[in-house]
């Protein structure tokens, strides 16, 4: 409510509203039931909008905006922490009960492939600058500041053999689902790590288990999984070179702060008649 009022908006009953700021139960049918002819715009709470896209809600008459870019710093920070943990073997050493061999490596100067260079990916590039990393960016958006090489998404496999770390920060769409599976892991270096802070469905989980277990890749750091939550007893829990966090890359404080900022900006834009931030493309699904 405060975010709306700060931008000069007014909070009114649904039947009088021209816009909806939604932070409910992630239920597409709930939003569909709220739509009426006066609604011009709907703000969704998440950066990923696959639930609403799959249900066809975003193809309906209002303009939909997502929180894309609002949580970039928090999630990029988590991705960096995961890479540092992998390089310094913290995933193993933190649970050790006796002195063991030093298997750590230096992170500075690493080659990092970032698959999906929206708000998270571009923020991560800035965070990596002090480490002197070589950046391979995968995006259809063209030039990326700070990247040593940029390739379109259709050519993402070309960068896999060169990367020490492959960071997944692409949106979940029909075109990206399962984009990292056995053929892609075979292209990666045997000491390379996969880092996923996007959506679990981008990775074929069974293929990932096999790739880590058989040493095809060095390991995986996952904030998201498929299925999610990852059930107890799943093979990923037992692999030494897998670091898992429970979809925690965006702390709740960052979530509410980022969403409030997006709402304030877009309420102001709506009143001014200017373009809304994070506008969703029904054709692209993000």
Question: What SS3 class is residue 76?
Answer: helix
Active-site position among 78, 91, 122, 199: 199
Q: Give CA–CA dist 180/68, Å, rounded.
A: 22
Answer for the pair 168, 193: CB distance below 8 angstroms, yes or no: no
Active-site position among 247, 257, 268, 269: 247
Q: For this structure, is 234 an active site residue? A: no
Alpha helices in 146-251 (DSSP H): 182-187, 205-213
Q: Give CA–CA dist 239/74, Å, rounded.
A: 27
Q: For this structure, is 143 an active site residue? A: no
Instruction: List the 41-43 sheet strands across, edge first.
Output: 19-21, 41-43, 63-65
15, two tokens? 């039947």
Answer for the pair 116, 98: CB distance below 8 angstroms, yes or no: no
Q: For this structure, is 279 an active site residue? A: no
What count of residues does the chain have?
Answer: 286
Residues of the chain by 3-state class (helix, strand, coil), percent to 5: 40, 15, 50
Active-site position among 60, 157, 228, 268: 228
User: How many Cα neighbours within 13 Å face the side chain of 5?
Assistant: 4
The residues annotated as belonging to the active site are 199, 228, 247
């Amino acid at each position: 409510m405060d975010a709306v009022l700060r931008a000069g908006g007014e909070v009114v009953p649904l039947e009088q509203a021209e816009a909806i700021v939604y932070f409910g139960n992630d239920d597409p049918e709930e939003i569909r039931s709220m739509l009426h002819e006066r609604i011009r715009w709907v703000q969704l709470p998440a950066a990923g909008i696959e639930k609403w896209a799959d249900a066809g809600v975003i193809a309906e008459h209002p303009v939909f905006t997502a929180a894309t870019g609002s949580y970039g710093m928090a999630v990029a920070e988590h991705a960096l922490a995961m890479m540092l943990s992998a390089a310094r073997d913290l995933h193993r050493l933190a649970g050790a009960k006796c002195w063991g061999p030093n298997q750590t490596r230096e992170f500075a100067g690493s080659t990092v492939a970032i698959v999906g260079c929206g708000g998270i990916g571009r923020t991560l590039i800035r965070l990596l600058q002090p480490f002197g990393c070589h950046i391979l960016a995968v995006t259809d958006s063209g030039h990326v500041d700070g990247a040593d090489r940029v390739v379109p998404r259709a050519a993402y496999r070309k960068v896999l053999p060169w990367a020490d770390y492959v960071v997944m920060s692409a949106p979940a769409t029909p075109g990206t689902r399962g984009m990292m599976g056995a053929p892609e892991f075979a292209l990666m270096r045997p000491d390379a790590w996969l880092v996923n802070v996007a959506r679990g469905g981008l990775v074929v989980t069974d293929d990932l288990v096999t790739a880590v277990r058989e040493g095809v890749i060095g390991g995986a750091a996952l904030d998201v999984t498929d299925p999610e939550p990852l059930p107890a007893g799943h093979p990923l829990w037992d692999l030494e070179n897998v670091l898992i966090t429970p979809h925690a890359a965006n702390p709740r404080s960052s979530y509410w702060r980022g969403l409030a900022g997006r709402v304030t900006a877009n309420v102001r834009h709506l009143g001014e008649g200017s373009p809304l931030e994070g506008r969703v493309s029904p054709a692209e699904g993000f």
